[in-house]
Every structure is written in structure tokens, then in C-alpha cells.
Structure 1
Amino acid sequence: MGVGGSKLEKALGDHFPEGERYFGFENFGNTCYCNSVLQALYFCVPFREQLLEYYSNNKSQGDGDENLLTCLADLFSQISSQKKKTGVVAPKRFVQRLRKENDVFRGYMHQDAHEFLNFLLNQLVEILEKAPHKVKGEDVPNGPCNGGQVNGLVKQEPPITWVHNTFQGILTNETRCLRCETVTARDEIFLDLSIDIEQNSSITSCLKNFSSTETLNANDKFFCDKCSSLQEAQKRMRIKKPPRILVIHLKRFKFMEQLNRHKKLSYRVVFPLELKLSTTVGDADSEYSLFAVVVHIGSGPNHGHYVSLVKSHNHWLFFDDENVEIIDESAIQTFFGSAQEYSTNTDHGYILFYESLTADDKQ
């Protein structure tokens, strides 16, 4: 179990949640970027439940069908079925598969946690879309089709997967012609939001800047179909459909032309435990609750360490590879960032996970 596990069980005592497991992950050489994200995903309850259900329905498959999805499902099942309440597991099979799938993660260099999360979610979607799905009791192979009928055969649209249902939201890009006032809207889906940050700001203000109005003029004029010509216009990005799980990536690594390299922005950005999303289409705010934070520790993008903070059953836990500790909720604010440009504190929130409190999203 280890000293950390014993301390954690003693700290929680009679308050240890029934059926829950708190396990650290072994590090296989700079795999903290992977470990921290996997912990956040494990404590994303809707995602975990769907993945364990997938494992239960597909565990009879042979090793020949192994992919990132089966490896992740096997890992989550391994944790949830542990007899002990705490300890350490080795996500070796998953890491080996990850390195096989993408040469970016093949070596032992420091990697970006957000890049890994993005790759993983998109890979899971791709695997699920290609898997056979049930139509009136029969397995039908999926394909990248758009529906409709060709030569008497009905095309099957790729299904909306449970990864989509958990993380996907819809953005709408609105452009208003300042001559005829016609608004052109273009929708695009997202699994996470990458937002620019400013010093001494908050997630709320950063999201407002993300959705702020931009004027297109001079060389950036917009071609209006109604006017059939280039016109001055205003455009803005808004959230048309908020996701059930809102993942926010803070763009802390910025390319500095004068330095000809990326620099880490240690800006202090407050991320609240409860978030109201007011940048959406419509009048109603969407309310969210913070349940996980992936933290980058270090002064630059090419080196450092990742840990994660996770909320589970109303208490917060600190995951640092093999080590798991309980922390006070007030400790979260120490990861907001630094008010000064140069600070000894290099532990900064990097990826935030919020769960919707809206009743419709919990059904």
C-alpha cells in the first residue's frame, strides 16, 4: 500500500467513500503529463461510468483488438476493482500503446498534458465511431457517411458517442455585415476550450474576452454574400451548446518572437469552484462546478512536472504520480498563478475540468 496510502486512509478514516479507490500511478520516465490527465479523467464520473460499461461489454475481445480505448478501459477497471482502498498501479500497458500510436509520446522527453488530452479524446472518438453499432439487433459497421440514400442503400451516419455526450459543446461564429446587418453564423464543435490569459484576471473575464466582438476592416474585410462584396463587419464567438463536462485549457505557453522560443506565462488567473458561463447563446447562464485541475510545475514549456488536484465526494485530493494526499479546499487558490512576473511559485493551473450543474445535462 505504501506510506502515502496508509496516511490517506487514516486521514479520511470513517469518511472514506464507499466503493471509491484512490490509487497513484507509476511514472515510466516523464509520463507525469499522462498520469495527471488520467487521474482527472478517472474522477470525471460520467466518463468513468461509460468507460467501465464499455469494458464490461467488450472484455471478451482478444488482444488482437487492443487499442487506446481498450487499454484505458482495462486500466480504469483495474483501479475500480481493487480490494485495497489505496495504493499504486502501473499504467504500463496504456503508456506502451500510447507510444505505439503516436511517436510524439514515444521518447522520454517532457510532453504537453493538453496535447495528450486532445489526442486521447479524439482517438477514443475515432475508435468508437469505427466500431460496429446495433441496428435492430444487428451489428452494422460505421463509416464516415453523411446519411441519405445512394443506389438504394441507406448510408449510416457516425453515431454520437458517449465521449461526445460527455465533452462536446458547440461554438457559433457570428459575423455581422455592418452595411446590411445580415448575420452569418457558422457552427463548430469542441471537446475543450483553449483560452488566452491575462495577468491578474479570472476565468470569467478570459471567457468574456474569448467571446468579445472583433471588427473586420481595412485588409480584413468580410465578403458578404448578400452585398456580394467585401464589407466591414463585426464577428464574435459564442457558446451555442455548453458541454456536460467543460474542459478549459489556459494558454500558458506563448511563442515570444523577440526570444524566438516559447515562454511560460505565470499569470495569476483565478478559477472559481463554481463557474457561471454567461458567454452562451441565449439568456440563461450555465452553472458548473470544478472537480479537477491539471497543474504544470516549472518555469518553461520544455521541462517541469505535472500533478493533478481532484475533487471526490466533497474532499480534494492531490495526485503526484505514485503519491496521493488529501488537501484542504483552500489550497486550490495557491495554483492560480503569480501576481508578479518573477516568482518562486511555479505551480500553475493549466487544464480545468468543470461539471455542469444543470439538471438537463445530468440525465
Structure 2
Amino acid sequence: MGANGSKLEKALGDQFPEGERYFGLENFGNTCYCNSVLQALYFCVPFREQLLEYYANAKNLTDTEENLLTCLADLFTQISLQKKKTGVLPPKRFVQRLKKQNEIFRSYMHQDAHEFLNYLLNELVDILEKESHAAKTDAETSSPPPEKVANGPKTIQANGAKKEPLVTWVHKNFQGILTNETRCLRCETVTARDETFFDLSLDIEQNSSITSCLKNFSSTETLNAEDKFFCDKCCSLQEAQKRMKIKKPPHILVIHLKRFKYIEHLSRYKKLTYRVVFPLELKLSNTVEDLDAEYSLFAVVVHVGSGPNHGHYVSLVKSHNHWLFFDDEAVEMIDESAVQTFFGSAQEYSSNTDHGYILFYERLAAASTS
């Protein structure tokens, strides 16, 4: 890091808490997609704290098998325990494990940061669920058999009882619930179907904003002609209106901007360089309860480049009211106003190729009902 490192160290020492660390991550050949997402997750403080707590507990378990979760927890622990405030660390163990587990990330080709984030969160959930199941099985096999009574065991689960899904700390941070409402225009019956999400993928338009993208996401669509809806009450195909609303806003709202669009006549993907304004403070007004959920932006993964199959990823993170720029090994402080330069381009052809791609918002405590 040299002179820049010592300059940053001085700035960090003056303005940041003693325990916070700001480390660049070494690039192992086109692993910027991974580094940029890891920085955003590291500065997702509730996620980081629970991961560090998991690692501290896991260290006591000698038979913990290495997996993506233990490698990530080990990396975050390494960063947090560094003596210096800033420097560079190689996330070698994590990257090796990622490539070993998923052949998509094995090559040195340009990878998609959103695809990586999706894979990582789902993999962490799978590991935690397996560990919970294994712990429960161990507890059941080590517990004494149920006491026999005239009509069988004292504790018995009713047949057909619905098993509640396990809610891990990954779910508690990132999972929200969408509800898909379809209203039959003949009998007015509303059919609602819920689905969970870890991030919202939004279609984008030129010179728009996150607020307008969210409104479009929840806009009402009419189902008619060949797209009619089969209404169970009418027992026939009927015209209907469909819309998607947020039933339960997540604690950490991750928004993925669909910047890569497949162009049929070209038979390839094209990058949309559209200018999409993402505010530092965001109100979600399209929730089922019609209550505003308030969020604050704390990280942005930025795609740099003109196309989807090449380019670079960097990240911006907010820590203790200051913004920092992470570009693999390099770390520097930036002004809050610099965030606006990553909104996108107002014209189709522009020299600016740095565009916000994945946005991370944390729900403000005052607005949270949980």
C-alpha cells in the first residue's frame, strides 16, 4: 500500500473506531467479483458479528469440516484481528474452496458478482441447516427413550404436522417475503401466494430511480386473452389483475439492478448503462401493510466496463458515517458526493463505465417493527 497506505492509516486513525479494520483483498486472477461482494458483506455489521460469533463457537468443535462457511468465517476473523487498521489480505483459502465446490467459478473468466452472492448466501443457509439437523439428530439419539404409558409414548407428533422451516441468522439478516396477489375480475376473489427472497432483481430504465423501479416491480398487470387466470371459485379461465407486493421487508435489503439484457437479434447480452439514481436513504412504500420501511445505504458493488463478459468489479462501503472505495488490494476514502458518480450514464454512449450493480441497504431501527 506504500505512501497511500500510511496516508489512509492516518485518516482512519483520526476518524474511525479503534476496533474497525479496512483491508484490501488480493486478486487471484479475475476474482474481483468475489472481493467486491466480500467487502460489502464484511461491512454488513450484523451479518459480520454473527459470522464471527459462529467461528468462535465452531473453533471449539474439533470435527468441524472445512466448507464455504468456515472459510468465510476464518477470513472475516483474520481481518478483524489484524493489528494494523489497513493492509492487504489474500482470501486464498476461501477462493480455493469456492472453485472446488462450484465449477462455474473455477475458470479465470469474468464472473457475475450477483450470481456469486446468490450462490454464497444459499450455500451458507444449506450448511447451517445441515449442521442444525445433525445437532438435532445427535441430541435425539443421546436422549433417553420416551416414557411408556398406556396409550404409547408421552410425546408424539401428530401425523401430518407441518414442520416449521429453520430460520438461520442468514435468513434473519437477508430474507424478506413477497406476496403475489391475483384478483379475479369476475368474482373479485383474491388469491395470494407467498415466496421468500434474499435480493430483489429490478428491471431498469434510462434516467430513473430505485423508487420508480420498485413501483414498476409492484405495478398491476392485467391477465387477459391467452394469459387468462384459472379462478378456482369460478372454475374457469377469467381475466384477472396481478401484482407483487412486499409482505415482510428484510433487515438487509439487497437490490440487484438488471444491467445485463439479452438482445435477441444480436444473440448476446448487452450492458445497460442507464442512469439509475439510488438514494442514501430509501423508503419502501410498496409493502402489504402500506407502512414505510426506512433503509440506509451502506454498500454498493459497482460493475466497471462496457459489456457483461469482461470488465471489473469494485465496491463502495459506508463505515461509521464515512465512505470508502475498495478495488481489490487498494483502499481509499472518498467523499459521500462521489457515490453519485456511480448512478450510470444519462446518454447511451459515455466514457463513464462505472455503474452501480448491487445495492445493500440496512433497515433503520426506528422503522423496524421486529
TM tier, smaller: over 0.9
1:1-363 pair list within 5 angstroms: 2-62=2-62, 65-132=65-132, 139=139, 157-359=164-366, 361=368
Deviations 1:194-223 (A, max 9, x none): 000000000000000000000000000000
Whole-angstrom distance in 1 between the partners of 2:161 and 2:190: 35
Letter in 2 for 1:349: G
**Cα RMSD after superposing both structures:** 2.3
Larger Rg: 2
Letter in 2 for 1:346: T
Q: Is the 8 A contact 1:276 1:285 kept in 2?
A: yes
Whole-angstrom distance in 1 between the partners of 2:16 and 2:157: 57
Letter in 2 for 1:193: L
Q: Is the 8 A contact 2:12 2:85 kept in 1?
A: no
Whole-angstrom distance in 1 between the partners of 2:239 and 2:158: 46
SS at match of 1:303: coil
CA gap 1:168/1:151 in 2 versus in 1, 3 angstroms = closer
Letter in 2 for 1:312: S
Deviations 1:115-164 (A, max 9, x none): 0000000000000011036989x7469xxxxxx96798999644200000
SS at match of 2:265: coil
Whole-angstrom distance in 2 between the partners of 1:184 and 1:317: 46
Q: Tell me by how many angstroms 1:16 deviates.
A: 2.6
Runs of 4+ in 1 over 2 A off after TM superposition: 1-5, 10-13, 60-64, 132-136, 138-141, 148-158, 358-363
Letter in 2 for 1:21: R
Q: Is the 8 A contact 2:305 2:312 kept in 1?
A: yes
Deviations 1:227-277 (A, max 9, x none): 000000000000000000000000000000111100000000000000000
Q: Is the 8 A contact 2:179 2:192 kept in 1?
A: yes
Whole-angstrom distance in 2 between the partners of 1:198 and 1:134: 47
Q: Which runs of 5+ in 2 are unaligned?
A: 142-154
Whole-angstrom distance in 2 between the partners of 1:135 and 1:359: 36
SS at match of 1:30: coil
Whole-angstrom distance in 2 between the partners of 1:172 and 1:154: 24
Aligned length: 357
Point out the more displaced range, 276-285 or 320-329: 276-285
Taking only the aligned residue pairs, the percentage that are identical comes to: 80
Q: Is the 8 A contact 1:9 1:16 kept in 2?
A: no
SS at match of 2:55: helix
CA gap 1:94/1:346 in 2 versus in 1, 3 angstroms = same
Q: Is the 8 A contact 1:193 1:249 kept in 2?
A: yes
Whole-angstrom distance in 1 between the partners of 2:206 and 2:162: 51
Q: Which runs of 5+ in 1 are unaligned?
A: 142-147
Q: Is the 8 A contact 1:71 1:97 kept in 2?
A: yes
Whole-angstrom distance in 1 between the partners of 2:204 and 2:280: 18
Q: Tell me by how many angstroms 1:2 deviates.
A: 3.5
Letter in 2 for 1:316: W
Structure 2 match to 1:144:
none
CA gap 1:171/1:149 in 2 versus in 1, 3 angstroms = farther
Letter in 2 for 1:186: R
